[in-house]
Amino acid sequence: MTKSKPPPGMPGGLSLLQDPVLNKGTAFTEHERDALGLRGLLPPRAFTQDEQVARALENFHRQHDDLEKYVFMTALHDRNETLFYRMVIDHIEEMMPIIYTPTVGEACEAYGHIYRRPRGVYVSAEDRGRVAEVLGNWPQKHVRVIVVTDGSRILGLGDLGANGMGIPVGKLSLYTACAGIPPAQCLPVTLDVGTNNEALLDDPLYIGLPQTRLQGADYDDLVDEFVQAVRKRYPDVLLQFEDFSNGNAFPLLRKYRDVLCCFNDDIQGTASVVLAGLHSALRIRGGALRDQMILFLGAGEAGVGIADLVVSGMVEEGLTPDAARSRCWFVDSRGLVVKSRRDLEEHKIPYAHDHAPAPDLRGAVEAVRPTVLVGASGQPGMFTQAIVEDMARLNDRPILFALSNPTSMAECTAEQAYVWTGGRAVFASGSPFAPVTYAGRTFVSGQANNAYVFPGIGLGVLASRASKVTDEMFMAAAVALAGLASEHDLEQGRIFPALSSIRSASATIARAVAEIAYEQGLAREKRPDDLSAWIQSLIYEPHYADYAEKRPARAF
């Protein structure tokens, strides 16, 4: 047998099999095995990608719990990126709860103990003065989406420090799986500024700096150095801030939203998906958004972000901004947010109304008499039976959104919402719940997952090369998503389309977002004759290339 050589610049032999971007495993053809020096390094039989998916799925189902399934999928990602995305896309409803919420929360808590191979870039407090150099170590030159966290508020779990890297890794997996952003264009980043979590500081396997968090000017300077390095190295990038604490999330968004193309998913992405859910819920119950009285449990970045976008939606329906804000109320750890309180943070002040205090959520429900109750508290079980029954007494079809993640942090379960309201609730949650059968009817609750909007927003921004992300884009995404819930979905109680259609939904949202970019003069890409076709042409599909003929492009 004549010994073959791989094409110029193409790794061969074991080096190729150890490259997750180029590796095809047992799917290398006979011709490729000869051309790439793989003969004898693989079992003799060549398999199709579909057969590989079947094998991987069989092994996935052998894992004993969800964390083991997460580790299995991480290992697959590290071994064969194309097969990983094929499996996730083809089985998105089963895979999303594993690679993202709720399992990613458990994975982040155990990150130092399940760590295997590096993924993404860690910028630590010790890198001040050389952040650009650290960022330059990332091999891809054409990054278009960065998700960055400082690990200070991971889901509803709090400060997980450098263990929070699981969040940007998971989010970017969804950018690819749900919207087809090429994985080579995605970069997860963790700013390791320390942690105040004593359990992590005492953990000998914690992967981050074993020190308390940077604060004040030191923290601000590191973040600013990172942002400036990103602007210089990746001028067309979309930067997504993720899981920053309230004290930093709002100031960072205000500081940088006009400096580079960026957004905060917890503030703006959550708002968009919840506004979409409200529009869909009102298709079930009837009525206009402008007429709703909305009570929020939790006055952090998610709750206030939702309220801000809801206010914009009410203004679109004819209310003044003041009148719209008067229909949004908040309960925080000290009770109803009212003007007479002297302990209010800046982001709460626009929603502090002239009203008598109420000490807790139940008292606030009685005082405000809301039509919609939104939980964004990170506190499990806060929608008690008494409170849910109060909502059912006040409303024929109470709208209940228990948004806190992961599932263990939900304000109530789907079953509780349906049973305690006699099957009358319109319910959605941040993490998935199984269908509920009550009084002979099966309810399939909606999952108000940000994955419905942020991948499509990213695709629309990239397709138009928008210079910034605006509130109008999130409004357009919400309207587009709400329109995708079918009558069949609504009959089941599901106010969002099935996850199985999420790639199609993302393309629809991307078009709506790109349209806004062109309308607002923010697009740097010349408008194509057929915008939908242009967006479709950009979407990554995880199919194997013929490597025996030429080396595939690794950058897009």
**Residues assigned a catalytic role:** 100, 171
H/E stretch holding 172 reads: helix 166-179
Selection from 133, 147, 134 nearest residue 238 by Cα = 147
Selection from 364, 380, 384, 241 nearest residue 301 by Cα = 241
> How far is CA 543 from each of CA 90, 539, 550, rounded to the nearest angstrom?
12, 12, 16
* DSSP letter (8 states) at residue 150: -
* Most distant CA pair in the chain, distance: 88
Phi, psi of 186 (to 5 degrees): -110, 135
The amino acid at 295: L
Report H helices in 110-165. 111-114, 131-136
Question: Is beta strand 145-149 parallel, antiparallel or unpaired with respect to 238-241?
Answer: parallel
Q: Are the CB atoms for 136 and 232 separated by under 8 Å? A: no
> How far is CA 254 from each of CA 152, 214, 262, 391, rounded to the nearest angstrom?
18, 20, 10, 36
For the chain, helix (H) and strand (E) counts, in that order, are 24, 14
Collapsing DSSP states into helix, strand and coil, what is residue 121?
Answer: strand
Selection from 273, 250, 260, 255 nearest residue 401 by Cα = 273
